[in-house]
Structure 1
Amino acid sequence: MTVSATPMNLTRAAHVGISVSDLDASIAFYTALTGREPVAEGTMSSVPFGKAQGLSAAKLRYATINLDGLGIDLIQLQEPVGERTNGKANRPGSMHLCFRVDDFDAVYQRMGEAGYDFLGDDYTFIAGEVTPDEALGTRVAYFNDPDGTNLEIIQPKGGFAS
């Protein structure tokens, strides 16, 4: 793919879409994680919408959970059903959704007590491993949703933007 270097100025996110295998289980997971109920739930069956996504058609169920400034669209494609990606951080094309927290220790502890399985130990950015220096002291931990979507909690330090 060759893309022009001309800026498109896309600077505001509206939502992130996450394909799920079981919409009801994912609604329960993300509702527990965010403390927010879906603001919309529904179904769609459309050949043009499917073709817009590079599919022959799309029959799906969906739910939207709004965060502050970003929506999470949970989408269960019923036709055509796809294969699970088992996303890993080192696989090109994989992505993660990051949740900013104000008190990392409290959130990390609550999540552990609630049964969230972290992929590894929490990590604090240290000198010699990360640049810029504004990132030093930033804390992160990674976990997955029921379908293996990579998720992260972060407490940035200094001028580091997450």
Structure 2
Amino acid sequence: MAVSSTPIGLTRGAHVGISVSDLDVAIDFYQALTGRPPVAQGTMHSVRFGNSQGLPDANLRYATINIDGLGIDLIEFQDPVGWRTNGAANRPGSMHLCFKVDDFDAVYKRMKEAGYDFLGEDYTFLAGEVTPDAALGTKVAYFNDPDGTNLEIIEPKGGFAN
């Protein structure tokens, strides 16, 4: 795909959409994670909406959970049903959703005690491993939702990670 280098100017996010296999399980997971209930929930059947996403049709259930400055749209496609992507971090096209925290150690401990399985040990950005130096001291840990969507918690230091 050839795209012009002319700046478009998209600088604000509205929401992230996450396809899920079971909306009820996803709502329970994200509600426990964020402490917030869905602000919208419903169904949709629209050939035109499906076409807008490159699908022949769209018969789906959805819910939106808002966190500060971003909506998380959980979407269960009932027709056409998709398959799990198993989006490992190193696969092109994979993405992750990052949650900013003020006290990484406390949140990480609470999550471990609550039974969240992290993909590896927590990590602190160290000198010699990352540039710029503004990232030094930033703490991160990665985990998955029930469908394998990559998620992260971060306590940024300096000017790193808005």
* TM-score of Structure 1 vs Structure 2, range by shorter chain: over 0.9
> In structure 1, how many angstroms separate the alpha carbons of the residues matched to 2:153 and 2:159?
17
Counterpart of 1:96, as a letter, is: H
Which ranges in structure 2 are unaligned for 5 or more consecutive residues?
Answer: none
TM-score (norm 1): 0.99
Counterpart of 1:71, as a letter, is: G
> In structure 2, how many angstroms separate the alpha carbons of the residues matched to 1:161 and 1:29?
25
Identical amino acids, percent of aligned pairs: 80
Counterpart of 1:135, as a letter, is: A
Counterpart of 2:63, as a letter, is: A
Question: 1:157 aligned to 2:157?
Answer: yes
SS in structure 1 of the partner of residue 97 of structure 2: strand
Question: 1:94 aligned to 2:75?
Answer: no
Deviation per residue, 1:101-121 (Å, 9 max, x gap) = 000000000000000000000
Task: Tell me by how many angstroms 1:161 deviates.
Answer: 2.4
* Corresponding residue of 1:123: 123
* Corresponding residue of 1:52: 52
> In structure 1, how many angstroms separate the alpha carbons of the residues matched to 2:125 and 2:57?
44
Task: Tell me by how many angstroms 1:153 deviates.
Answer: 0.1
Q: How many residues align?
A: 162
> In structure 2, how many angstroms separate the alpha carbons of the residues matched to 1:5 and 1:82?
33
SS in structure 2 of the partner of residue 75 of structure 1: strand
> In structure 1, how many angstroms separate the alpha carbons of the residues matched to 2:133 and 2:25?
40
Task: Tell me by how many angstroms 1:158 deviates.
Answer: 1.1
> In structure 2, how many angstroms separate the alpha carbons of the residues matched to 1:148 and 1:160?
26
Task: Tell me by how many angstroms 1:159 deviates.
Answer: 1.5
- The list of structure 1 runs, each at least 4 consecutive aligned residues, that deviate by more than 4 angstroms after superposition, is none
Deviation per residue, 1:40-92 (Å, 9 max, x gap) = 00000000000000000000000000011000000000000011001100110
1:64-143 matched pairs, under 5 angstroms: 64-143=64-143
* Corresponding residue of 1:30: 30
> In structure 2, how many angstroms separate the alpha carbons of the residues matched to 1:160 and 1:73?
26
TM-score (norm 2): 0.99
> In structure 2, how many angstroms separate the alpha carbons of the residues matched to 1:43 and 1:160?
39
Which ranges in structure 1 are unaligned for 5 or more consecutive residues?
Answer: none
* Corresponding residue of 2:63: 63
